[in-house]
Each structure stands twice: as structure tokens, then as C-alpha cells.
Amino acid sequence: MGPKVMLLLRRVVLCGFLYLFFVSFGLACGPGRGYGKRRHRTKLTPLAYKQFIPNVAEKTLGASGKFEGKITRKSERFKELTPNYNPDIIFKDEENTSADRLMTQRCKEKLNSLAISVMNQWPGVLLRVTEGWDEDGHHFEESLHYEGRAVDVTTSDRDKSKYGMLSRLAVEAGFDWVYYQSKAHVHCSVKAENSAAAKSGGCFPGTSLVTLKNGSVKFIKDLALGDKVQAADEEGNVVYSDFIMFIDQDTLTCRLFYVIETTEPKRKIRLTAAHLIFVVTSTDNSGLSITYASKVKPGHKVFVFCETMGKLRTATVDKVYTETHHTSFAPLTVHGTIMVDQVLTSCYAVIESHKWAHWAFAPVRLSYRFLSFFFLGGGLNITHQEEGVHWYSKMLFHVGTWLLDRDSFHPLESLNWS
């Protein structure tokens, strides 16, 4: 068979594969019948009086985050505030300065979403804001009202019997912390614009090390398509798995990483809060599970590579703390696992199920293997992306928000819910 015929055959097969590939996505994710069904909207439960969601303090990592400083009209950060002129929201503005209309962009987006929910829930009723940005010092010290990151809301009819459901609607609208604070209003707040990006996404610092099949080590940021990196199979055997792509790569943002240190042997791995890592929580090593990095505690055991034994063994976590690093990379391998700084982790994040995440990326693995067979020289690479979150990952996240409940995602990633 001549070279031209072979080239033509490859192109025909490739076109057929791509057609089936994208048609399968249309069947699975489109509005018609397919592999999945649109989930019915779950019945909303009103918050109880004095209840807050998430169930942590407002200015902690899992909620709206720390206070970053009071904003005044003369401060440099005043430009972070944007006015909200949504006609479907009533602003009390008792100071007659329009201060209640000023807020961060994130707060504005969530408030506008809540306004729509209120009108849908109670036709003829509007959302009412009683307190927004505070420039007069009327709130307690380090209140997020001073940064335009908090609002106190009611309904326009001031029907107190609605405030429990109003609180629930605020949670669904994407506010990072909602508190049914008093009989007079509901308090809602959001993360700072910079911290929302810094504490989500990522996975590993670019300078984390991986081991290649030839025994050499490499910075994660320098991985190239097809590199065979140390990983593990489903049985826990050490394997060398093809690097397929970066699920996310960011060379600009300074992010918060959890540092997990072990003893005997001594290892240290840095990964973002929502990244998955394999742990053993029982004393007899029988309780193997997958969990978020932010849930790992001293006394848990993780899997590390033992060079003398040439295989995996457990190591007890000695301490867990946080650091900030510039650059972050989330590598994906064929096996869905990777050994980073000689500690075994999943390649996945955001949702607390390695199995389901690995299944969701099956089309990427299939594409990589197919194209590697037909383009041995790497002439076509649909998995490559220079910067940011990969398009396939973005698609999966949007499909996930459509099919799954908000609680299925890590708290720091639910900020992208709406």
C-alpha cells in the first residue's frame, strides 16, 4: 500500500473517530435523551434561625476568607468596588450616598443572581439590600462590609417568614457564606477577588519534582507530552505512565498550598486544598481512601515511594501547614495517578471521587492513545494548551454543576458554581 493511500486512510479513520467522539458528547450532554438525564431541581430547605452555611466561621479559608483591610473612598483599593444599578434590587441607602450600591464584582454577581431567584420564588417580590459597603464604621471591627464583600438583605415586602428561604436562595446563588443572622435580615458575604483565585484551582507548584522512567527527575512545569512519569496502577504497583496534558497550568497567580510532611521516610508534598490524595486513616492500614488535601491530618498515612524497596509503602503524616507559591500545574497521566516529590496522589481535584474523575477523563485518554498510534511523530496534539484551565476540564465542570449538587464539590471550588 503506497504512502498516499496510507495517508488518506489515516485521515478517513481520524475523521470518523472525531465524528463519533463529538457525537457521543452530544448524546451524553445534549438536551435530548442520552447517557445522563438532567437532574430535577431538589427541594430547597429554608435555613434555621441563626444557621450559617458553610458551617465554619465567616473569615476562615472554607468560607469568605480573612479580612484584607478597610476600603475608603481615598484608598487605592476603592477602584475594586463597582456600583450595582440593578433595577430588580431595592437599595435602602439611608445615608443617601449610594454606598450600599458599592461592592466587589464577585458580590455584585452573586447579588444579581439572588435577585433573579427571589423574583422566581415569590412573583411580585424584589430583593432589598439594607446594608452594603460601610464607610462610616457602623459595623464591628474587621467586618467584610468595610471591603464591599458583604450585604444584608431582606425581601421587599419585609415578610420575616420568607427569610429562612431567602437564606437558602443566597446559598444557591453562590455566596461564600450565608448567615440567617437576625429576624430583621440575612447576612451574605463573598471571598476577596484575589483570594478566590489564589485558593482554588492549581494542584502542584511548578517546581515540584516527578521521576521519569530513565531515573532522572524533572520539574512538573517542564513535563512534555509522552514523558513516562512515576505513578501507580489500581493494584498499587509502581508504574511509569504517559503524561497526557495539563488539566490546569498557571504561571502568574500566587496560590495557597497545603504542605504535608511525613516521617519514616521523610517526605514533603505541596498541593492545593481541593486536590485528591490517597490516605490510610486506620491503624491497621486497612482503611484506604481518597480525600482532599485540606482534610489530611497528622496521624493519617499517605503512600510514598521507597527507593530501597522499589515499591510503595505508607508513611505517617507528621504535620500539615500552608505555604504560598507562584505557578501551579495539574498534570494528567494515563493511569490518573502521579508520584510528586515521591508521594502518591491522584491527578484529579474538585470532586471527592478518584474513580468518577478518572472515568470522566476516559475520552482524553482514548484520544491520546488513538492519535499517538496514527501520529507517531506527535504531529497532532489536541490535549495541548498553553495557559489556564484546559477546555475539556472546563466542560466537565459545567456538566458537573448541571448534574451534581453543590455539596459534591470542594467548598473552595464551589465559588465557580455560578
CA distance 281 to 155: 46
Residue 157 has pLDDT above 80, yes or no: yes
Q: What angle do CA 270, 342, 355 make, to 5 degrees?
A: 80
Residue with more model confidence, 45 or 27: 45
Q: Which of 114-128, 247-261, 346-360 is predicted most confidently?
A: 114-128
Nearest to 205 by CA among 293, 302, 331, 102: 331
Nearest CA to 338 out of 350, 353, 354 is that of: 354
80: cell is 475594586
Pairing state between β 343-349 and 311-333: unpaired
What is the longest distance spanned by two Cα atoms in the chain? 84
Average pLDDT over residues 286-305: 86
Whether pTM exceeds 0.75? no
What are the pLDDT digits (tens) for 82-104? 999 999 999 988 778 888 899 99
What percentage of the chain carries pLDDT values higher than 70? 78
Residue 327 corresponds to which amino acid? T
Q: d(Cα 182, Cα 180) in Å, to the nearest integer? A: 6
Q: Is 393 exposed, middle or buried (0-12, 13-18, 19+ CB in 10 A)?
A: buried
Q: Note the pLDDT tens digit of each residue in 109-141.
A: 999 999 999 999 999 999 999 999 998 888 898
pLDDT tens for each residue of 354-407: 888 898 899 988 888 887 766 554 434 444 556 777 788 778 776 766 666 666
Is residue 412 scored above 70 in pLDDT? Answer: no
pLDDT of residue 284: 56
* Residue 356 and residue 332 in contact, taking contact as beta carbons nearer than 8 Å: no
Q: How far apart are CA 125 and CA 299, in angstroms?
A: 52
What would the grid cell of residue 202 be?
492549581
Cell numbers that stand for 37 in this block: 438525564
Residue 318 has a pLDDT of 94
